[in-house]
Amino acid sequence: MGKLTEEQRLQRSQARARREALQAEEDDRRREEKRKQWEREGTYLSREEFAAGHPCRGCGEPILDGLGDRPPLLQMTSDERAEHDAEEARYKERHGECRAMRWTVSGSRTQHCGHCCPSPPMGEEQAKAIAKILFGHKANKRDLDDWDLTLTCDHTLRRTQHRDHQRFSTSVVQCPTCGKRRGVVDAVHVGPTEDPDGEVQQERLAAELRSAEANLKRQRKAAVKTEQQIADIAERLGEPQALRG
């Protein structure tokens, strides 16, 4: 097979991005359908039921099994490792095709499937702590960047996220045109959401300049080292055979 052209590589990359976006969209739809099913069928446990030790209504397995946290693999005894491997095989037999994360609760070892088993309700203090993290402060617009997203429906929209993210962090978003959640095929970084004086852009350019200068310095050092190696080899090649022997 011949070497791919730049256009062919681009086409393959775009096709792969679309496949991944469609898969993310399907997984998101699947999770939402399961959530609605749990609500219809009363699968969720109440906080009181969870505290009382009721089993998971999704799989029938205990949530609070009283076995304690499982030790790390490298610290397991042979018996503990055998037990772990057996439980792993049993889990894969039940949930190997679910394509979902696993969850457990602290102090228990029974693993539950993110697709089959609704997670237990949070306690009041836990909910307050999470709410404080999520809503405790208002984001400064100077810390936000704009991104232009292309979705699987081919509609485009602009979204913002914190500048700490190097890539757009959400794989599925709500499309206002379709009225449905769609996978993100492409995300193009636009720049600061609010930067009237250009200060954020200047800071970013200065950081990019420092990074480029540091990279150039490393490359020059490597080039000097390579030149020295070439000179050493050339000098050795010019030596008489008797001296080299």
Check pLDDT > 70 for residue 105: yes
Domain boundary among 192, 210, 234: 192
Query: What tokens does 113 get?
Result: 């499937």
Domain range for 222 is: 199-244
Alpha carbon 145 to chain centroid, angstroms: 19
Say if residue 77 is in the same domain as residue 160: no
pLDDT digits (tens, 9 = 90+) for 169-195: 999 999 999 999 999 999 999 888 876
CA dihedral 132, 136, 142, 148 (to 10 degrees): 50
Say what the pTM is.
0.68
Burial, 116: exposed, middle or buried (Cβ in 10 Å; 0-12, 13-18, 19+)?
middle
Say if residue 159 is in the same domain as residue 67: no
Match 């080899």 to its residue by tokens: 233
126 vs 75, 129, 131, 133, CA distance in Å?
Answer: 30, 5, 9, 11
CA-wise closest residue to 208 among 169, 166, 170: 166
Indicate the length of the chain as a whole number. Answer: 245
End-to-end C-alpha distance for the chain, whole angstroms: 46
Query: What tokens does 240 get?
Result: 């008489």
Domain boundary among 121, 153, 183: 121
Give me the sign of the Cα torsion angle 198, 200, 202, 208.
negative
- Please state, for a pLDDT cut of 90, what percent of the chain lies above it: 62
Check pLDDT > 90 for residue 199: no
Say if residue 74 is in the same domain as residue 30: yes
Domain boundary among 121, 151, 181: 121
The pLDDT of residue 129: 79
Number of domains in the chain: 3
Asked if the structure places residue 136 within a domain, the reply is no
pLDDT digits (tens, 9 = 90+) for 120-141: 988 777 777 777 766 665 667 7
CA-wise closest residue to 114 among 23, 227, 31, 212: 31
Asked if the structure places residue 222 within a domain, the reply is yes
Instruction: Enumerate the H helices of 96-184 as residue ranges.
Output: 124-135
Asked if the structure places residue 113 within a domain, the reply is yes
- Quick one: DSSP state of residue 233? H
| Span 211-215, average pLDDT | 88
pLDDT digits (tens, 9 = 90+) for 33-66: 999 999 999 999 999 999 999 999 999 999 999 9
Enumerate residues 6+ apart whose C-beta is below 8 A from 155: 175, 177, 178, 182
Say if residue 54 is in the same domain as residue 79: yes
